[in-house]
Amino acid sequence: MNQAVFLITSLNGVQKNRLKRKIKQLLDRNYEIKVVLALVNMSGTRKARELFNQAFKEKQLAKINVQDLSEIFASKPGIALQGDEAVVVDESLTKFEFKMTDQLTATRFIQTGNIKAEKIVNATNGHLVRVTQFNESHQPFRSANYNADGKLISLNYFNQGRLEESQLLNQKGEVTFQFIDQSCQQQLTYSLGSSSVIKLPAAVRLTNDNESNNKVVDSQMEIVSQFSQEIRDFEVLDNETFEQYQDVFKFYIMVLKQCADSNADFYVDMDDNIRLATYLSEQLIFNY
């Protein structure tokens, strides 16, 4: 049986109509389908799975193998958490409870008018979804994320509300991978042939609306030049082998190869294609 592996790296990607259409087409052709939910901000993993499940019928979902990073690396050895790394809530603080959705309820812990922490719980089974601690500016500085069974799977660390580091945990609660923010501003030049099926990344398409920034070299080539863009990237550290992945896309390649058969087709978000192709130069990549 032919196999297709889909890599999803964002909430935007999981909602793309092209992703749904392509999976449905491959199911009709009796492909084995694997979907990897590989969001670095792992607080979005539950939402990504929910959105994905909403896009397909129950019979279709039964034929699709969906895994997130915590499931793929559940048995991988890691490093034990230190005591001060646990996200602990002072239950003695003043509580303010409210309903977020039919399935989720939140409790905020208040001290002298300031929010100190928030606990989100699945109202149906009582399992934790997320616990977040806040700084004096009411911005999150640390959060713990849980899977559908209420088991801790990841930690997020923030600086001024911005994700600075994610830690992936195994089934023993050990940290297997650390994702460390390496974002920077870069001056980029994109060169695409007029018949290319690869589109420019969304940030370029949305921001580069000044035609003077586009230069046509010849009838077959369009060049988008001098586009300043923040490159959101993460260095990844393997806590078992201490191998360092210089960027998250190199890590994604390792994940894809671990999940796929040798002859599998890879499907990636069009916005990730250019950077992933750097590491898969000898393999055909499909977009969604």
Sequence ranges of the domains in the chain? 3-74+244-287, 79-181, 184-230
- Is residue 229 within 8 Å of residue 204, measured between CB atoms? yes
Residue 85 has a pLDDT of: 82
What are 109-152's pLDDT values in tens digits? 999 999 999 999 999 999 999 999 999 999 999 999 999 999 99
Task: Write the class of the CATH domain 3-74+244-287.
Answer: alpha beta
Confidence of residue 197 (pLDDT cuts 50, 70, 90): low
Confidence of residue 67 (pLDDT cuts 50, 70, 90): very high
Cα separation, 41 vs 96, whole angstroms: 26
Rg over CA atoms, the chain: 21
pLDDT greater than 90 at residue 66? yes
What are 236-277's pLDDT values in tens digits? 999 999 999 999 999 999 999 999 998 899 999 999 998 899
- Mean pLDDT for 14-19 is 96
- Mean pLDDT for 71-81 is 97
Q: CATH code for 79-181?
A: 2.40.128
What are 22-58's pLDDT values in tens digits? 999 999 999 999 999 999 999 999 999 999 999 999 9
Residue 227 has a pLDDT of: 57
234-237, long-range: CB within 8 Å, 24+ apart, which pairs? Answer: 234/40, 234/166, 234/179, 234/180, 234/181, 234/182, 235/179, 235/180, 235/182, 236/177, 236/178, 236/179, 236/180, 237/177, 237/178, 237/180
Domains 3-74+244-287 and 79-181 share a fold: no
